[in-house]
Structure 1
């Protein structure tokens, strides 16, 4: 396989470089003739292309691994062997290129078929220890797809950050997955989840009332009311729903300074310099954080009920009491809760911007002490105990939460439509473009059964249309030959032009069809190319899909495969639950 390398500059102000490798994979060199990604995203009816191109941003580990396997020895003996397209490919070079596209762990790996349809296979950013952020990689990939005139690009969204599925967090927050900022949208009905079901699930989670949720959890989970109080104090707008809370927290995250890893407790959104203002009753000496035990000991002289005192200390924090704001935080160094008081009586109303408090020494002093570390910890806590907690399934109105979460997590096949129709070729002198697809008439009942999901009235329509440049003086016979030449690599032989059965082979093509028109040509598959089963990306479909979720075709998810379906089938989870049931 031919391979080209390019050195890319990442930052102009502080130049750093990464390597982009482009590997051309002809079908005869492929380990698998058919594309699983096409089948999973619903493009299994596309004809197999004779070439596809891999675009790889390798990590240092994958470069070393490819080098090792390519040379069959120690990686320190030399660099990765990159084949020169103008020279003969040596066995080691072929092995290196082939191995490179099979390896996992690249910073980015995308692939394009020669028909303009592609797949983004992986993105690994700084979260997984790489040099580039995920958004930088996606920005580059998006520009690459635009420059190559991609038609449609798919991806399987399994993006995680700090143990949280981003498609769930961003779905609740922004009504779209993380990839949505690059216009990747819901496309494939996985587990029989439709676009309408997906949208309703997002709306259900976003609109869940916080007041009802807090009232429900206040006796079993004391931390969630505290988290809500913490951020409602900061927000200029009322936080009414779960969607409001997550949106505010993620927007706040983008405005907080990076965490100080040596002492994350000192990172905050306030300016400590304002504490020295002369018009403030609280001097810097008096404004200090005291431990929970100190607060408890001081209050013990006035409160005899120890249980009541502990309960108040557990819930007290980030509340305004009279003219004071009671601040509460966890000291990450000592792992002890700390409290402090802020006198807000002599301060003007704070200046606001987009619902967030702005540091303004003349407006309000230290309103709140929170680090980015604490913020991410709070987001994860809500993610775990509100969105992923299965105990909600028996909690009245909140029983909708697990179901909505499941629907969103099951909706992970995303597609960006760059230009669903093929980009017109630049008009060459004396030539015009038409757009062609082909229709196969099958005589084999076995082949019809194997492809019944793409058969329409005993015919298979192969999408998408492809642009075919044709001489202005070309005849119908010339049209057939040119289309056959374009599709011959996939084993297609033209018989006739649909709806032009009365046309003679010597008739001028552009006298019968218009420039830019979509036409269908009927034909048959070549037995020498392997027949119908070898022409489609899905290959031979010789199985049935029958899932309780309603799915009737393969959606790329794992399934139980049986030659003979049993009368009763139990998955491992159901079997364990039945064992735990009480005896009658």
Structure 2
């Protein structure tokens, strides 16, 4: 097990205790198998594996656990935040519980968030999901929430991009999360499968291919559906769609202009497949497997780099736009530098030479002492080191970073693999001081990038360029605010969005502004030969699954799958202790409540472990120590929904019952009315008028 010694430099150097580093893939073995309930196991976990941070987040305690990626030596943190819930909390009720059908649970007094931030995030816990935001979040590699009663939610999961071909995949991160839940004796965990890939709802693709969600690989099953969708309807829908035969699909596309393209695609993958492709499930499984193979090949072809265990996360927004030598020297001379330009330039050459010889990160003190042998003037060296932030010099990028563990300034060097001077990160939009928040700007930029990727995969033109008008019209379907879209399109100029670069050019023939997208690390696979498997999956998604008329059975079953977002995994509670009693404490209703007020299931019991000689009074205190009160709301919609399923709803101003806006005749693009009366109350009012 590796160890790391951290030092804090004040007037005197004081040593902190060594913080251990745990291997990512074997972390579950380090945790072991706890025997108590989650509310007790989490305490033991934090005491043994967490290092409590001195700084608190919103008055909450934060622990960090350092994890090591064995493949490239990168170290990154797992943060655990302990939130206390009371009457003064901004959001005491958990919306994730409500949407998955657990709205009848009692509110727990404590809940814990497990978060792995994106590699390179300087403020990883600044905007974490404390407000129960249900939108898809890619700012964290892992974000999970578990209440002290053992019920939890997987809020988001993404791959851990470590800047090399050895990045951790979503499957790796999911295995890690599952092992934590299993070791800490979690009871149930929900997840909202809302992943988009090129605007494709992947739960439909994966559901048709494998008759289950992607999370089903870890035991997650149907939990709750929107618009009255039940587990029986979901199972029937995925069964029907997966057994849809290829012959029927081709026959149904007789009047479709894309029929020939569909036939060519099926023949192409039939030749590539070792088995006969008879159904829609067979075809999609073949494409997904082929897509996975291409991703592995791309990863193997991309440049790999060994990451230092002490390295601060990879390129931040400034490192994407380095300063050249001429710009740096001009700015230094304008700042009344007391050294001549040739001496400053010579000092920079010495620093670059020392970094190239070391071929690793060097601390400021180490670099300063080494440069003294060649320069002599420590004042000049300090001035130059202080001025270097991200510098482009003779085909190299030199940057100053802060070691995430020792908190010391370091300098590192790498070869400039592409013309990064012209590249700007998506966060650079915020520097223009717009009137929109940063999150909306970044989300709009991603929507534009996804539209351009779709267009490029479907168009026959080589560069895949898209006119500004067409791009704006398509983006307005997802964003709505055309002013925001215009601002982002106007600001795009070699904008780096994820691993893609969006550029703006003027068509020499039409004189119109066009936008195109290209891969940042490697060239896109050619459309010739094997073809673009991403475009083929998108073609099946849009031109087959979603192309049937709304009244067709295929269209209806697709809608059922798309309305099934929430999946749940349940663990068998195996807490055992020979010296303690394991009890499940439940609150039972009175006979009057059973006759009049009880309209929803009873909350689940709270599992506690107590001494055999515990008194009734002591047992009551333990049972009441974890929960407070339950969510109270009433949902009755014509579609059959009896709980808030996360879809847009409106409350009747007469009976105060919540109903879906879509089921009430209010379009998704239409604003909810200021005064709303449901059909039942409106019918009663009309009946009373007629009877008078």
Q: Give the alignment's TM-score, normalised by structure 2.
A: 0.49
Contact 2:118 2:160 in 1 (8 A): no
Q: Distance in 2 between matches of 1:185 and 1:38?
A: 16
Q: 1:98–1:573: structure 2 CA closer, same or farther, 3 Å change rule?
A: closer
Structure 2 residue 71 is matched with structure 1 residue 13: yes
Matches for 1:90-489 after TM superposition, within 5 Å = 105-125=139-159, 132-219=168-255, 220-221=257-258, 222-256=260-294, 258=296, 370-371=529-530, 374-389=532-547, 391-393=548-550, 399-419=552-572, 421=573, 423-428=574-579, 431-441=580-590, 449=597, 452-454=599-601, 461-471=602-612, 474=613, 478-489=614-625
CA deviations 1:289-329 (Å, max 9, x no partner) are xxxxxxxxxxxxxxxxxxxxxxxxxxxxxxxxxxxxxxxx9
Q: Distance in 2 between matches of 1:225 and 1:434?
A: 61
CA deviations 1:217-257 (Å, max 9, x no partner) are 24421311111121122233322221121122222333447
Aligned residue in 1 for 2:423 = none
Structure 2 residue 102 is matched with structure 1 residue 43: yes
* Deviation (angstroms), 1:436: 3.0
* Deviation (angstroms), 1:18: 1.8
* Deviation (angstroms), 1:63: 4.4
* Deviation (angstroms), 1:54: 0.8
Q: Distance in 1 between matches of 2:604 and 2:203?
A: 30
* Deviation (angstroms), 1:404: 0.9
* Deviation (angstroms), 1:37: 1.4
User: What SS does structure 2 have at the residue aligned with 1:535?
Assistant: strand
Q: 1:386–1:128: structure 2 CA closer, same or farther, 3 Å change rule?
A: farther
**Larger-gyration structure (1/2):** 1
Q: Distance in 2 between matches of 1:333 and 1:23?
A: 49
Q: 1:444–1:225: structure 2 CA closer, same or farther, 3 Å change rule?
A: closer
Any gaps of 5 or more consecutive residues in structure 1? 70-95, 265-328, 336-367, 455-460, 492-533, 576-584
* Deviation (angstroms), 1:200: 1.0
Q: CA RMSD in A?
A: 3.9
Aligned residue in 1 for 2:629 = 535
Q: Give the alignment's TM-score, normalised by structure 1.
A: 0.58
CA deviations 1:244-286 (Å, max 9, x no partner) are 211222223334475669x99xxxxxxxxxxxxxxxxxxxxxx
Q: Distance in 2 between matches of 1:6 and 1:417?
A: 26
Contact 1:198 1:408 in 2 (8 A): yes
Aligned residue in 2 for 1:560 = 650
Structure 2 residue 629 is matched with structure 1 residue 570: no
User: What SS does structure 2 have at the residue aligned with 1:144?
Assistant: helix
Matches for 1:481-520 after TM superposition, within 5 Å = 481-489=617-625
Contact 2:157 2:173 in 1 (8 A): yes
Contact 2:160 2:168 in 1 (8 A): yes
Contact 2:96 2:132 in 1 (8 A): no
Q: Distance in 2 between matches of 1:565 and 1:226?
A: 57
Q: 1:574–1:133: structure 2 CA closer, same or farther, 3 Å change rule?
A: closer
* Deviation (angstroms), 1:388: 1.7
Q: 1:124–1:235: structure 2 CA closer, same or farther, 3 Å change rule?
A: closer
Q: Distance in 2 between matches of 1:216 and 1:97?
A: 45
User: What SS does structure 2 have at the residue aligned with 1:14?
Assistant: coil
Q: Distance in 2 between matches of 1:193 and 1:444?
A: 29
CA deviations 1:163-190 (Å, max 9, x no partner) are 2212111111111111111111102243
Aligned residue in 2 for 1:547 = 637
User: What SS does structure 1 have at the residue aligned with 2:64?
Assistant: strand
Q: 1:436–1:382: structure 2 CA closer, same or farther, 3 Å change rule?
A: same
How many positions carry a matched residue from both structures? 381
Q: Distance in 2 between matches of 1:560 and 1:332?
A: 46
Contact 1:2 1:23 in 2 (8 A): yes
Q: 1:60–1:99: structure 2 CA closer, same or farther, 3 Å change rule?
A: farther
Q: Distance in 2 between matches of 1:102 and 1:205?
A: 28
User: What SS does structure 2 have at the residue aligned with 1:19?
Assistant: strand
Q: 1:442–1:64: structure 2 CA closer, same or farther, 3 Å change rule?
A: farther
Q: Distance in 2 between matches of 1:99 and 1:164?
A: 27
